[in-house]
Amino acid sequence: MIINIVDIINSLVQSIMIIATINYCLEDEYKKDNKELILYTIVTCLGFVISYKFIGNSSLNILITHCISLIIPYCLFRKDILGITVGHTIIYFAIAFNSLIFSNVFMTLNMLINKEEYVQILQILLIYAPQFIMAFIILRNLDSINKIYKVIRSRNLSTISFLILSLILDFIGSFSIIIQGENNPIFLNIIFFALSAFLVAITIHFANSEKKAKEIHDLNIALEEKVLELKKIKHDYGSQISYLYALHLMKRHDRLGELLKDIIDGHNSITDQVRVSNRSDSIIATIVNSISTKDINIVIDEQAKIEEFPLEEVELQRVISNIITNSVTAMDGRGIITIRTLYEFNKIIMKIENNGPEIDKGIITKIFEEGFSTKKDDKGNHGYGLSIVKDIVEKEAGKIELFSNNKKTEFKIIMPIRM
């Protein structure tokens, strides 16, 4: 009975630590008043107590209480997801690390003493008491926790990185309980399934990160080449300007005019955009080079053979040029467009992505309708490009999807592989 009461107190203390720390660390605009903090602290505590009541001190309970401790702050603070995750990870790491150390100390001493009447006393002294002491220290030193929070957040790590770290702690704690033999076989299966899903998700995450890093690397190489070109042009201009100034001093203005015209005509390439393709014989690159893309940079990553698209080259040109032309217009001539081809089971995919403005949710479903356009069009000359794209794709049993948020807009063309 006494253990149940102490466990409820521990759940309340942990809830206070999590909610109070996150609220203290966030910017003033995201902080909540005391009534909301008390309400969500109680809800978090109830979640912990109910989970423990039905699942007990099991490996599965560790994952469930982690979800509860993270979801409820997300519901409370909402607008600063990264801040919530960083603050939560700091406290969760402290709680988990404390629990792992003192739980193992408890198990060791319990085996050595091996007396039933001392089990509850040992639990209170070696598991719960360290948690209460740690909570007291943390809540008395929130300024120090806030400094740790600022240092970690300033490293520009992603939310996913912190979630991965805290989930690793969960699995360490879960397997600690499994090793001790205190676990339901059904929970054991769920944990192994969760671990498998976690490993797959991590693999996909790092594969995507590696792909992004490669794109940035390729783009940086192209930019370095462009910088080198600019340095050469700067050097060339320096010597020419000195010569032009000499002509000015000699008052040879006719020759001065001719040379200025030659310079203007001969060095207009410095405004060319950067284009990167991983294939020298790329049909996509040929198509892109025929389109006016202003100062937009183009990255082409062909991991699937474009020849396996069930489209003739003319149709492919119409599809790509219409999407890119619309993207260029939306991006106001600045930014990056990435074109990727890849395989997906028995399908071949082309993704055309840009980092322009988000498409309004109210019109995203109308984008492919014939005659629909966001441009001012009194003569009815706009609004047909993307409807043509849709017709060409669907004629070959394919489909086109559009996704847009404040980071990117992506056209995804899914086609059967040409046999």
Task: Please give the helix or strand (H or E) that residue 135 lies within, else none.
Answer: helix 129-140
**238: phi then psi, degrees, rounded to nearest 5:** -60, -50
Q: How many CA atoms lie within 13 Å of 173's alpha carbon, on the beta-carbon side?
A: 28
Q: What is the pLDDT of residues 63-85, one digit of tens each?
A: 888 889 888 988 888 888 888 88
Residues with Cβ within 8 Å of 125's Cβ and at least 6 positions away in sequence, in order, are: none
By three-state DSSP, how is residue 297 classified?
Answer: strand
pLDDT at 402: 93
| Higher-pLDDT residue of 357, 56 | 357
Span(s) in the chain for CATH 3.30.565.10? 274-416
Q: In the predicted model, is pLDDT for residue 419 greater than 60?
A: yes
Q: In the predicted model, is pLDDT for residue 266 greater than 70?
A: no
pLDDT at 15: 93
Q: What is the average per-residue pLDDT within 230-240? A: 62
Share the mean pLDDT of the chain.
81
Cβ atoms within 10 Å of 72's Cβ, excluding its own? 20
| Helix, strand and coil in the chain, % to nearest 5 | 65, 10, 25
Q: Which amino acid is at 109?
A: L
Beta strand 399-404 with 347-354 is: unpaired
Q: What is the pLDDT of residues 138-194, one digit of tens each?
A: 999 999 998 888 878 766 666 777 778 778 877 887 777 777 666 667 777 887 888
Q: Which of 4-18, 84-98, 115-129, 273-287 has the lowest mean pLDDT?
A: 273-287
Q: What is the average per-residue pLDDT within 403-411? A: 91
Q: Which of 140-144, 212-216, 259-263, 366-370 has the lowest mean pLDDT?
A: 259-263
Q: What is the pLDDT of residues 240-250, one digit of tens each?
A: 666 666 666 66
pLDDT at 85: 87
> CA-CA distances (angstroms) from residue 331 to 108, 360, 377?
64, 14, 19
Q: In the predicted model, is pLDDT for residue 272 greater than 60?
A: no
Q: In the predicted model, is pLDDT for residue 401 greater than 90?
A: yes
Spatial distance between the Cα atoms of 172 and 369, rounded to a whole number of angstroms: 53
Residues with Cβ within 8 Å of 108's Cβ and at least 6 positions away in sequence, in order, are: none
By three-state DSSP, how is residue 150 classified?
Answer: helix
The rounded percent of the chain whose pLDDT value lies above 90 is: 20
pLDDT at 18: 92
Question: How far is Cα of residue 286 from the mean position of the Cα atoms in its chain?
Answer: 31
pLDDT at 270: 40
Q: What is the average per-residue pLDDT within 261-282? A: 60
Task: Please give the helix or strand (H or E) that residue 210 lies within, else none.
Answer: helix 185-249
Residues with Cβ within 8 Å of 71's Cβ and at least 6 positions away in sequence, in order, are: none
Name the DSSP class of 274. Answer: P
pLDDT at 329: 86
pLDDT at 380: 44
Q: What is the average per-residue pLDDT within 203-216? A: 76
- Give yes or no for a contact between 333 and 324, defined as CB atoms under 8 angstroms apart: no
- Give yes or no for a contact between 59 and 81, defined as CB atoms under 8 angstroms apart: no
pLDDT at 86: 87
pLDDT at 160: 78
User: What CATH architecture applies to the domain 274-416?
Assistant: 2-Layer Sandwich (3.30)
Structure confidence at residue 280 as a pLDDT band (50, 70, 90): low
Q: What is the average per-residue pLDDT within 43-50? A: 91
Q: In the predicted model, is pLDDT for residue 394 greater than 90?
A: yes
Spatial distance between the Cα atoms of 258 and 262, rounded to a whole number of angstroms: 6
Structure confidence at residue 120 as a pLDDT band (50, 70, 90): confident
